[in-house]
C-alpha cells in the first residue's frame, strides 16, 4: 500500500508541477485530476496536504500565478469558481520533495509536455484571432461600402470610420409624407392635366430630400391610409408599365399615379 501511495503522490506532484495555475485535486467524470477519487487516492492526497506539499484551494478560491513571497508557487485569491472541485497547487516544499524522490529528468519531461500543450493552445488561439481579424476586416469593408452608398457628402480623406458613423447618425431623418405632399401640391398648382406618375413624384422628392424607394412607398401608404391623397391604378398591360420599381401594390391594384384629395 505504501509503494502504491508513493507512486500516486509522485505522479500527482509531477502533474501539479506542470500546472502553474493548479489542477483539480481529484479526477471526476473523465476529467483529469491529481489523484484518483478512490480511498487510496484520498489517503495520498491527505498526506500531501499534511506534509505541506500541496496547498488546496477551496471551491470558492482561485489561484493567481503571482508568488506570495513565502515560497509557494501561487497565492490565494478569493474568487468564485464555477466548479465545485478543490484545486491543488504545488508548493516549493512539494517541488523539493519531488526532485529528491524522482529523477529530475522525469520532472523536466513533465514540464516540457506541459509547455508543448500550452504552445498548441496558444497556436489555436492565434489562429482563432486571425479568423476574427479577417472577419472584422470584411465587416469593416462592407460597412464602408454601405456608408459610401448613402446620400450626402462623401467622406473626407482623414475621416475615420467612427466619424462617418457619427455623421450618419446625426443626419436628419427625412419626413417623407410632408415632402410628398409639397411635391404633389406643386404638381397640381403647375397646371398639370393629369395625375402625377409615381416615378416623376419620386424624382421631384429626391431634389428636396434623399429618399429610398422603400421610404417613398412607405410615405405614400401613410398618406393614402390617412385619406390625404389618392393612389390611382395602372390600367394598361403590365408589360407596358414604365419604370416598374416605382409602382406600388395597394390592395389588388397596382398604383402608378397620385393626386391630392381636395378639401
For 77-126, the three-class secondary structure string (H helix, E strand, C coil) is EECCCCCCCCEEEEEHHHHHHHHHHCCHHHHHHHHHHHHHHHHHHHHHHH
In this structure, the answer to whether residues 116 and 66 fall within a common structural domain is no
Residues 121, 91 within the same domain: no
Both 214 and 250 in one domain: the answer is yes
Do 39 and 59 reside in the same domain of the chain? yes
Question: Do residues 50 and 118 share a domain?
Answer: no
User: Would the pLDDT of 13 be above 80?
Assistant: yes
Q: Output the CA angle 58-116-24, nearest 5 degrees.
A: 15
In a domain, 158, yes or no: no
Of 202, 212, 171, 188, residue with least CA distance to 260: 188
CA angle 226/232/233 to nearest 5° reads 130
Q: How many structural domains does the chain have?
A: 3
- What pTM was computed for the model? 0.38
Q: Does the residue 161 lie in any domain?
A: no
Statement to judge: residues 69 and 137 lie in one domain = no
> Among residues 141, 157, 192, which one ends one of the domains?
141
Can you give the residue range of the structural domain that contains 127?
A: 104-141
Q: How confident is the model at residue 202 (pLDDT cuts 50, 70, 90)?
A: very high
Lowest mean pLDDT among 22-36, 159-173, 185-199: 159-173
Q: What is the mean pLDDT of the chain?
A: 77
Q: Identify which has the larger pLDDT, 58 or 258.
A: 258
Same domain for 121 and 76, yes or no, is no
Whether residue 165 is contained in a domain is answered as no
Amino acid at each position: 500500500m505504501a509503494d502504491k501511495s508513493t507512486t500516486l503522490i509522485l505522479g500527482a506532484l509531477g502533474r501539479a508541477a506542470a500546472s502553474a495555475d493548479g489542477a483539480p485535486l481529484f479526477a471526476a467524470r473523465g476529467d483529469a485530476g491529481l489523484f484518483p477519487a478512490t480511498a487510496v487516492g484520498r489517503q495520498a492526497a491527505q498526506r500531501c496536504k499534511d506534509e505541506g506539499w500541496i496547498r488546496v484551494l477551496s471551491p470558492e478560491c482561485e489561484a493567481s500565478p503571482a508568488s506570495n513571497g513565502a515560497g509557494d508557487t501561487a497565492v490565494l485569491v478569493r474568487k468564485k469558481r464555477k466548479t465545485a472541485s478543490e484545486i491543488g497547487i504545488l508548493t516549493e516544499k512539494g517541488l523539493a520533495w519531488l526532485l529528491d524522490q524522482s529523477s529530475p529528468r522525469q520532472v523536466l519531461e513533465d514540464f516540457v509536455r506541459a509547455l508543448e500543450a500550452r504552445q498548441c493552445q496558444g497556436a489555436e488561439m492565434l489562429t482563432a484571432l486571425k479568423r476574427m481579424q479577417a472577419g472584422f476586416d470584411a465587416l469593416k469593408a462592407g460597412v464602408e461600402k454601405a456608408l459610401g452608398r448613402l446620400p450626402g457628402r462623401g467622406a473626407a480623406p482623414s475621416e475615420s470610420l467612427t466619424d462617418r458613423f457619427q455623421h450618419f447618425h446625426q443626419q436628419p431623418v427625412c419626413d417623407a409624407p410632408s415632402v410628398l405632399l409639397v411635391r404633389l401640391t406643386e404638381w397640381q398648382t403647375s397646371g398639370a392635366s393629369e395625375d402625377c406618375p409615381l416615378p416623376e413624384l419620386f424624382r421631384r422628392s429626391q431634389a428636396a430630400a434623399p429618399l429610398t424607394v422603400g421610404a417613398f412607398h412607405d410615405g405614400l401608404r401613410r398618406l393614402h391610409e390617412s385619406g390625404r391623397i389618392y393612389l390611382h391604378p395602372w390600367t394598361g398591360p403590365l408589360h407596358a408599365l414604365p419604370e416598374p420599381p416605382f409602382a406600388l401594390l395597394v390592395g389588388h391594384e397596382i398604383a402608378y399615379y397620385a393626386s391630392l384629395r381636395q378639401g
